[in-house]
Amino acid sequence: MSELEDWIGRSESREDVVSTAPLRGLTATLDREPAELRAGTVLPPLWHWLYFLPAERQSEIGADGHARRGGFLPPVPLPRRMWAGSQFEFRAPLRVGDAIRRTSTIAELSHKQGRSGPLVFVKVRHEIHANAAPEPAIVEFHDIVYRQARQPGEVEPPPVAAPVPTWKRVIVPDDVLLFRYSALTFNGHRIHYDRKYVTEVEGYPGLVVHGPLIATLLLDLLRRQLPEADVAEFSFRARRPTFDLHPFSVCGAPQGDSGTVRLWGADHEGWLTMDAVATLR
């Protein structure tokens, strides 16, 4: 841990331009009607994930399909890496045609002993600026958890029942949906498309549905129910893996007049898989 803590404070920056091709791709992937996209069109929340994509050379890719450890992210010596959750402040809109810059910093690094073995948590802070503005349009914290290889007889935490929803949409996570989202985000992690790898090496029963895809579907549900909603803050936490073996649901319920909406994912048995909160302006 003392060696890994040397990564705290490390930063990197990437630049991009908000172009329309990935927006059309995600629109189709989310099964929405095609929208007119022109300069100035505002991006929906979380669609900034279509930009600043990883672009490591093929020779720099590790066995799991991610970049090898020890570049920007610390070389955590645990094989399983998962997106545990994120927190966002949407301070200003991003628009088609914007020149955008993301500065990422390793903000925190911690170790914990879980019921299934050692865990290492890495928190990355991202600030996204548009058109060289002095203040960021989006501030994002990305929580990553590293775990040891699955052990024989490993027991998952007890599931939690999902609440009764006001809104609900059923999603069928077939291979095509997972492939399209992986392609749109240039995500090479093999747990999302390589069934032999995910079952025999990582020990999961099926392909893992991307956490960011579920989070995007949650805010897409909000947009479908409240088209004029202006999201100021959003946070989500993964509670339980979702696999491609069964349909799952994205659900929501407004929290009275508080200006917040609780959103969550539920598997086919009704167990909570992701918990989220959106705060509206």
The strand pairing partners of 89, in sequence order, are 139, 233
Domain ranges of the chain: 4-280
Report the candidate in 203, 182, 216 with the shortest Cα–Cα distance to residue 53.
182
Coil vs helix vs strand at 12: strand
- Cα separation, 281 vs 263, whole angstroms: 17
- Cα separation, 69 vs 11, whole angstroms: 15
The pair of structure tokens assigned to 279 is: 């705060």
Report the candidate in 148, 170, 125, 130 with the shortest Cα–Cα distance to residue 266.
170
Over residues 118-148, the pLDDT tens digits come to 899 999 999 999 999 999 999 999 999 998 8
Quickly list DSSP for 118-138: EEEEEEEEEEEEETT-SS-SE
Residue 150: CB atoms within 10 Å: 15
Residue 69: its pLDDT value, please? 66
- Cα separation, 99 vs 97, whole angstroms: 7
**pLDDT exceeds cutoff 70 at 237:** yes
- Cα separation, 246 vs 70, whole angstroms: 36
The strand pairing partners of 109, in sequence order, are 122
- Domain 4-280 -> CATH class: alpha beta
pLDDT, the chain, mean = 93
The helix-helix angle for 211-225 and 175-184 (nearest 10°) equals 100
Quickly list DSSP for 203-240: --SSPBPPHHHHHHHHHHHHHHH-TT--EEEEEEEE-S
The strand pairing partners of 30, in sequence order, are none
Over residues 177-232, the pLDDT tens digits come to 999 999 999 999 999 999 999 999 888 899 999 999 999 999 999 999 999 999 99
- Cα separation, 203 vs 197, whole angstroms: 8
pTM: 0.93
Residue 144: CB atoms within 10 Å: 19
Over residues 55-86, the pLDDT tens digits come to 888 888 888 888 776 678 888 888 888 889 99
b (16+ CB within 10 A) / e for 208-239: bbbbbbbbbbbbbbbeeebeebebbbbbbbbb
- Cα separation, 113 vs 216, whole angstroms: 30
Residue 78: its pLDDT value, please? 86
